[in-house]
Amino acid sequence: MPRSIRPAVAGRRQWIDVAKGVCILLVVLWHVIMKHYLQVGWRLPVPLPGVWGTFGEQLLPLRMPVFFTISGMLAAGAVTRSWAQTRRSRITKFLYLYALWFAVHTAVLWNLPGFDTLAARSVADIAEQLTVTPTNLWYLMALAVYFTIARSTRALPAVVVLMPAFVLSAVAASGMLAAPGNRGQLYQNLLFFLAGVRLKPWIDRWAQTATLRTFGVCVAAYLVTVAVMRVAGAQRWPGVWPLISGLAVAAGVAGATQLVRLRRLSNALAGLGRNTLPIYVIHMPLLAIIDAVLRDVFSGAGPAAQLVLAAVLPVALTALLVLVCVRLHRWAPAVGGAWLFTLPQRRVPVAVHEQPTVELPVLRPGQDTLPTMQLPILRSAHDATVDLRAPGPRGSDDGGRY
């Protein structure tokens, strides 16, 4: 039986990172299923591809709502700070990353028109996808937009902020609002980010008190609700989608706290949860290349080979993509590629001779009096960090842990 972790050891941060790790795996798995696996020409006597597709669809209300709820919780403290303290790390950073990786994705996908995903094919597409209709990188744009809204409305009562966000989510999910590309995702998930910001104490309390039994009840309620929704065709009924997603968030949080008890598994998932950004931005171009190389190969495989591939390909390919993304992220700083994953730091030179000084007595051999020497006073720990390549200290940026 796996050894359990005491709550004091695992802590709140562990379950948050575990939840993020599960979510990023589900995101990659969904993209593998939809953009590659279901595009293969399967010739099978059993409906394995349909099973995988149905499995991925059942988790649609969970993946991004849980992701954004946690992102909101992690941003709750920053929302109370000034614009000057947060603009760079919470807004500029994610707009920079979106623009940067949009260029990378566009360069790769431009040459792979057979890959089934939203990609720019003209100058007009580039302009639109950089502004109002984001690509599969929309999560990065959403973080910047959501934080701006959360910070601007921080003085308003929670209900005044959350109710309009609920209405927007319900209207967008029902299809009553024009939402091409991933714009609908921006509309639908604002609610969960704001809920993470405003309801953080309640979510923390739920995480601390959730048990295996409550997790099981939440999962059962979620599965039954999703099944009823599918049978009744209620996906487009106003309010159904955000309510089911809220139930999925409750189940996801409770499940993450239970996974923390499994030491090895939770540590592995938490490690992924602390590296969601590189996995998120890198996996799609890699998947597009793999699809271009292997789709026809898999489509032309024999019946036995196809049966094995249909059973294991989604999991195997997801694991491969995640592993490669993590490795590339680790290697990036060694080749000067740290700027691919964070906003480059600003350098603000500070002249040492302009700092105030204090006199310290120094007695030398043969002297009867104590001369003095001038030493700078360090106003903060930042002044003690010296960049040998340029004068002045290196700045530090609160990048945030989304």
Task: Scan for tokens 């604002």, then name that residue.
Answer: 190
Give the model confidence (pLDDT) of 95-126 as tens digits: 999 999 999 999 999 999 999 999 999 999 99
Give the model confidence (pLDDT) of 139-148 as tens digits: 999 999 999 9
Per-residue pLDDT band for 235 (boundaries 50, 70, 90) equals confident
DSSP annotation string for 358-396: EEEE-PPTT-SS--EEEEEPPSSGGGG---TTSSSPBP-
Q: Which residues contact 254 (CB under 8 A, 6 or more apart)?
A: 206, 207, 210, 211, 214, 215, 218
Q: What is the pLDDT of residue 369?
A: 54
- 107, 177, 189: which is closest to 140 by C-alpha? 189
Q: Which long-range contacts (CB under 8 A, 24 or more apart) does 165-173 make?
A: 165/190, 165/191, 165/194, 165/195, 166/191, 166/239, 166/242, 169/241, 169/242, 169/245, 170/238, 170/239, 170/240, 170/241, 170/242, 171/238, 173/235, 173/236, 173/238, 173/240, 173/241, 173/242
d(CA 117, CA 258): 35
Q: Does the pLDDT at position 381 exceed 50?
A: no
Q: What is the pLDDT of residue 360?
A: 52
Q: For residues 49-87, b (16+ Cβ closer than 10 Å) or e, as one string?
A: beebbeebeebbbbbbbbbbbbbbbbbbebbeeeeeebe
Q: What is the pLDDT of residue 87?
A: 93
Give the model confidence (pLDDT) of 271-323 as tens digits: 999 999 999 999 999 999 999 999 999 999 999 999 999 999 999 999 999 99
Question: Up-side HSE of residue 239: CA atoms within 13 Å toward CB?
Answer: 2
Give the model confidence (pLDDT) of 241-254 as tens digits: 999 999 999 999 99
For residues 127-156, average pLDDT: 96
Q: What is the pLDDT of residue 180?
A: 85
Domain spans, the chain:
7-340
Q: Does the pLDDT at position 88 exceed 50?
A: yes
Task: Scan for tokens 């575990």, then name that residue.
Answer: 18
Residue 53 tokens, joined: 């597709």
d(CA 44, CA 374): 82
Q: Does the pLDDT at position 399 exceed 70?
A: no
Give the model confidence (pLDDT) of 166-224 as tens digits: 999 999 999 888 888 899 999 999 999 999 999 999 999 999 999 999 999 999 999 99
Q: What is the pLDDT of residue 323?
A: 97
Q: Does the pLDDT at position 258 exceed 90?
A: yes
d(CA 150, CA 159): 13
- 183, 170, 171, 191: which is closest to 69 by C-alpha? 191
Q: Which residues contact 141 (CB under 8 A, 6 or more apart)?
A: 94, 95, 98, 134, 186
In one-letter notation, the amino acid at residue 145 is V
Question: Average pLDDT, whole number, for the chain?
Answer: 87
Q: Does the pLDDT at position 8 exceed 70?
A: no
φ, ψ for residue 328, nearest 5 deg = -60, -40
Q: What is the pLDDT of residue 13?
A: 79
Q: What is the pLDDT of residue 6?
A: 37
Per the model's pLDDT, the better-predicted residue between 239 and 4 turns out to be 239
Range name among 35-44, 70-79, 229-238 with the lowest pLDDT average:
229-238
In one-letter notation, the amino acid at residue 130 is L
Q: Which residues contact 3 (CB under 8 A, 6 or more apart)?
A: 263
Q: Does the pLDDT at position 375 exceed 80?
A: no
d(CA 222, CA 126): 39
Q: Does the pLDDT at position 270 exceed 50?
A: yes
φ, ψ for residue 372, nearest 5 deg = -125, 155
Residue 355 tokens, joined: 């700092």
Give the model confidence (pLDDT) of 341-356 as tens digits: 999 987 665 555 455 5
